[in-house]
Amino acid sequence: MSKSTKHLLFWSPRVLCILFALIISIFALDVFDETRSFWNTAIALVIHLVPTIIIVAALIVSWKWEWIGGILYLIFALVYVASTLGRFPVFVYFIISGPMVIISVLFFLNWKYKSELKTR
């Protein structure tokens, strides 16, 4: 495995996870309107950012133990699909759970090739 492939395989799930957390955070922006007070808006923002907090917490754990990341992101994708089944068109499930499945697969590959990915 070439050095660039090792770097790509090591960093891709981590970077994709950060990007996914940022994209999911955009959905929290719908709490800002003129009818809520400051504290109601702050509470609503924290509630809307709970999925992002969970994703980032999973990334922190997954950074060291890749197999846990593989399991967690697969569970996140399945829970999302199971909890929203029938509410949205099919492509929405691919948009939200698809990146989590890809991140999961990449973390599993990280775990499988961990000895080869040691870049130090």
- 53-70: pLDDT as tens digits: 999 999 999 999 999 999
Rounded distance, CA 29 to CA 11, Å? 28
113 vs 16 pLDDT, higher one: 16
Whole-model pTM: value is: 0.85
pLDDT, the chain, mean = 90
Task: Give the count of alpha carbons within 13 A of 78, CB side only.
Answer: 7
Rounded distance, CA 46 to CA 15, Å? 23
pLDDT for 120: 46
Among the listed residues 19, 26, 17, the one whose alpha carbon sits nearest the alpha carbon of residue 100: 17
Q: What percent of the chain has pLDDT over 70?
A: 96
Check whether 104 has a pLDDT greater than 70.
yes
51 vs 118 pLDDT, higher one: 51
| Residue the block writes with tokens 């996914």 | 20
3's tokens: 């050095």
Check whether 119 has a pLDDT greater than 60.
no
> 90-112 and 3-26 helices cross at what angle (nearest 10)?
140
Q: Which amino acid is at 87?
A: R
